[in-house]
Amino acid sequence: MKSAIEVLNTEALRIVIIVDDDERLVGTVTDGDIRRGLINHLTMDSTIKEFMYTDPTVAYEEDSRESILDKMKKLNIFQIPIIDANRKVVGLETLQHLLEKARYDNAVFLMAGGFGKRLRPLTDNLPKPLLRIGEKPILETILEQFITTGFHNFYISTHYKAELVKKHFGDGSKWDVSIKYIYEDKPLGTAGALGLLPKDAVDLPLIMMNGDLLTKIDFEKLLKFHVKQGGDATMCVRAYDFQVPYGVIKADGNRITNIIEKPIYKFFVNAGIYVLGKSIIESVDGKTYLDMPNMLESKIEQGGKVNMFPVHEYWLDIGRMEQFEQAQRDNETEFN
């Protein structure tokens, strides 16, 4: 008990986390546990297992900031251990930290220059990122998600109906953030506009995202993952299953060796969200048409390190009319 009190007084986080030899969570001790132990006539020499709490509330490392905060508010607790699937302690979150708004100086580059041809006639007079899902344009929902996470430095790439995008978002003062615009004289692909960014925008890793996506990805975790993993770039990916509707034949010459009935193949597909390091951005000249997959593939061939960040959260690419209609249906449950 004496050691536990010393930790509580020294660390000022008002909690002691007890783990086994494999760093798996065993229990916690707070000031209340100490006081209850003393009321029950325990002494300073009592072992911690006599008064620790053995069933503490926990959160998992994949949980979002919002879900952890919601759990702590509902249960009226001030600290919560973060564990992995094996109950190994990987962190500690506090209510005070969650309530403090984080601030990230990393630039966010939103791609809003496409023609949206597959959504015509909706995009005849309006660029796709300004199409409304519920009460807000798609791009405004994306912007506000980043702002809620703590990002404040934005660049928006424009081409088709650029003046409408600039008119709607202005310089960002409505949201107390900075918004600057990159104009493509001609379409440069999903990566080419990176070369038009000012040099001082890329000192920190940059998050780049297509402006026609609805997602609930945790951008803070994405950025921290990129920094922890190191490397030149991180691509967000989605799991995608494809079932062949027929029996698939495997053969050796004319001899059938195996028949697999309606097999399911699993892939990871590009989710249109990236974290890019300075070296990658500086390699783009801003004059040549360049798509992101080609750029990253070239980097890999040169020996660069490109990591993937699996996205399990809600994600929808609004590229066709059926997805636009799906987004309208999802809006009430996912974003309200």
Number of neighbouring beta carbons within 10 Å of residue 145: 18
Edge-to-edge order in the sheet of strand 59-60: 59-60, 79-83, 89-94
What are 94-104's pLDDT values in tens digits? 776 766 667 88
Question: Is the omega angle on the peptide bond into residue 121 within 30 degrees of 0, that is, cis?
Answer: yes
pLDDT greater at residue 319 or residue 182: 182
Q: Are the C-beta atoms of 197 and 281 separated by less than 8 Å? A: yes
Pairing of strands 306-310, 233-243: parallel
Asked if residues 209 and 109 have their Cβ atoms less than 8 Å apart, the reply is yes
Domain layout of the chain by residue ranges? 2-99, 104-334
Most confidently modeled range among 23-27, 35-39, 127-131, 284-288: 23-27
Rounded Cα–Cα distance for residues 207 and 210 (Å)? 10
First to last CA, the chain: 47
d(CA 280, CA 261): 44
What is the reported pLDDT for 151?
Answer: 92
Q: What's the confidence (pLDDT) of residue 154? A: 95
Query: Contact, 270 vs 234, CB < 8 A?
Result: no
pLDDT tens digits along 247-291: 888 888 888 889 898 888 888 888 899 999 888 888 888 888 888
Helix axes 138-149, 219-229, angle to 10 degrees: 60
With contact defined as beta carbons under 8 Å apart, do 128 and 116 qualify? Answer: yes
Pull the structure tokens for residue 195: 């070369």
The model's confidence at residue 109, banded by pLDDT at 50, 70 and 90, is very high
CATH of domain 104-334: 3.90.550.10
Q: Is 225 helix (H, G, I), strand (E, B) or coil?
A: helix
Confidence label for 325 from pLDDT (cuts 50, 70 and 90): confident
Residues 219, 194 contacting (CB under 8 angstroms):
no
Query: Which pLDDT does position 100 carry in this prediction?
Result: 66
The helix/strand/coil state of 189 is helix
Q: Which CATH homologous superfamily contains domain 2-99?
A: CBS-domain (3.10.580.10)
Quote the CA–CA distance of 163 and 139 in Å, as a whole number: 15
- The pLDDT of residue 153 is 92
Which distant-in-sequence residues (6+ apart) come within 8 Å of 98 by Cβ?
Answer: 65, 68, 69, 72
Phi/psi of residue 213, nearest 5 degrees: -110, 140
Q: Which residue has the tokens 């995608």?
A: 240
The DSSP result for 279-316, as a single string, is HHHHT--SSS---HHHHHHHHHHTT--EEEEE--S-EE
